Amino acid sequence: MAKMLPVLVLLIPISAIFFLYQITKLKYAEIIQDKACVNPQNVLKELQIANKSALFVSTQKLTIDLKNKFSCIEDVKIKKRFPVKTIIEIKVKKSVAKIEGTNFVVLESGQVEEAKNDKDKPTIYLPGDLTPQLGQKITDQNVLLALKIGALLLKSDFITANIRFLPQGDIAVYNNQGVAIIFSNQKGQDTQVDSLQRVQASSKIDATKIAKIDLRFDKPIIVYK
C-alpha cells in the first residue's frame, strides 16, 4: 500500500487537470456585432480553438487572430464565460464613401464592398485610371490619404458631400453648400483636419460666407464668396 501512495498522489492532480480541461472546452461563441462581419457558427473552427480549453486560450492572441482573419473588424473585445462560452464584441469597420458611378463603397483601408445602407455617405470620385472591383483593396496612396481624411471628417463638424482629386494630386472635399476644403497630399491628414476644425471654431469667421479653405499652406487660406 505504501508503494501505491506516490502513484495515487500523482494520479489525483493529473485526473483533476484532465477533468478541468474537459469541462472548459470552448463549445460556442456569442458574437455581438453592429454589422454582419463574422459568422458565429464558424468562428471557433476558423480560429482553430473549437474544443480547446478556455484556460489555455489567450484573449490577446485571439484578438490579433480575429483582426488578421477578418478584415471587416475595426476593434474587438473578448470575454470568457466559463466553462464553455466566449463572448466576442466586434466593432465593424464602416465605409468612408460611396464610389461614384458604382454600387460600391470603400473603407478607410481601401477595401471595396457592396453598398447596402450607405445612402448618407459622401461620394468619392476616383482617378480615371482606377476601376474598382468588388472585394478589391485599393492601394493607390493618394486615394488612401483621401480615405483617411474622409474618415477623420466623418468624426468632425464638417459634413462631407463628395471627395475629388485635383490635377496636382491634392484632394478637394466639398460639403452640401459647395464649400471646398483643399488638402495637400504632402502634409499629414491629422494636422490638416485639426487646422480645419480651428477655422470652424473661430468666432471671427462667418462660415456662411466661406467659399474655400485651402489647407496646403502653413496657415489656412480662406476665400470668401
The residue among 48 and 179 whose pLDDT is bigger is 179
- Global confidence as pTM: 0.71
Asked whether residue 82 falls in the same domain as residue 115, the answer is no
Quick one: pLDDT at residue 13?
58
Q: Using 50, 70 and 90 to split pLDDT, how confident is the model at 14?
A: low
Average pLDDT rounded to a whole number, residues 36-42: 73
Domain count, the chain: 2
The DSSP call for residue 24 is T
62-71, 135-144, 147-156, 187-196: range with lowest mean pLDDT = 62-71
Q: Which amino acid belongs to residue 113?
A: E
Asked whether residue 161 falls in the same domain as residue 147, the answer is yes
Asked whether residue 79 falls in the same domain as residue 99, the answer is no
Q: What is the mean pLDDT of the chain?
A: 80
Asked whether residue 105 falls in the same domain as residue 85, the answer is no
Residue whose C-alpha is closest to residue 70's, from 18, 31, 101, 121: 31
Average pLDDT rounded to a whole number, residues 150-160: 91
Q: Which amino acid belongs to residue 107?
A: L
Q: Is the peptide bond before 40 cis (omega within 30 degrees of 0)?
A: no
Choose the final residue of a domain: 67, 92, 117: 92
Quick one: pLDDT at residue 33?
76
DSSP H or E run through 98? strand 95-99
Residue 214 has pLDDT above 80, yes or no: yes
Quick one: pLDDT at residue 144?
95
Asked whether residue 74 falls in the same domain as residue 175, the answer is no
Instruction: Name the burial class of residue 114, with classes exposed (0-12), middle (13-18) and buried (19+) by CB atoms within 10 angstroms of its CB.
Output: exposed
- Which domain CATH number covers 191? 3.40.50
**What is the percent of the chain with per-residue pLDDT over 90, rounded to a whole number?**
40
> How far is residue 125's CA from residue 54's CA, in Å, rounded to a whole number?
48
Average pLDDT rounded to a whole number, residues 82-100: 80
84-88, 118-122, 217-221: range with lowest mean pLDDT = 84-88
Place of cell 466553462: 83
> How far is residue 49's CA from residue 146's CA, in Å, rounded to a whole number?
38
Asked whether residue 58 falls in the same domain as residue 169, the answer is no
Asked whether residue 111 falls in the same domain as residue 220, the answer is yes
Asked whether residue 220 falls in the same domain as residue 116, the answer is yes
- Which domain CATH number covers 25? 3.10.20.310
Residue 192 neighbours by CB distance under 10 Å: 21
Asked whether residue 18 falls in the same domain as residue 58, the answer is yes
Asked whether residue 56 falls in the same domain as residue 131, the answer is no
Residue 84 domain boundaries: 5-92
Asked whether residue 124 falls in the same domain as residue 218, the answer is yes
